[in-house]
A and B are shown apart, each in its own frame.
Chain A
Amino acid sequence: MFLSIAAWPDVGVTERELDQAQASVQRMFGKETKAVLVTIPLLSQDKEAVFILCNQRWGGDTLVVLASFKGNAAAGYAVVDNVKGKDQLITYIVAVDSSLVVKDLEILAYREAYGGEVRYKSWQKQFFGRRPGEELRPGKEIKNISGATISARSVTFGVKKVLSVLAAVRDRLPHTPLETQ
Chain B
Amino acid sequence: MTALVLVEHEAGQLKDATRGAVTAAAQLGDVDLLVAGENVDAVASDAAKIAGVGKVLVADDAAYGHGLAENVAPLAARLMGGYDAFVAAATTTGKNVAPRVAALLDVMQLSDILSIEGPDTFTRPIYAGNAIATVRSSDAKKVITVRTTAFEKAGEGGPATIEKVASEGDKGLSSFVGAELSKSERPELTGARVIVSGGRAFGSAEQFHALLDPLADKLKAAIGASRAAVDAGYAPNDYQVGQTGKIVAPEAYIAIGISGAIQHLAGMKDSKTIVAINKDEDAPIFQVADIGLVGDLFKIVPELTEKL
Query: A and B from one assembly?
Result: no
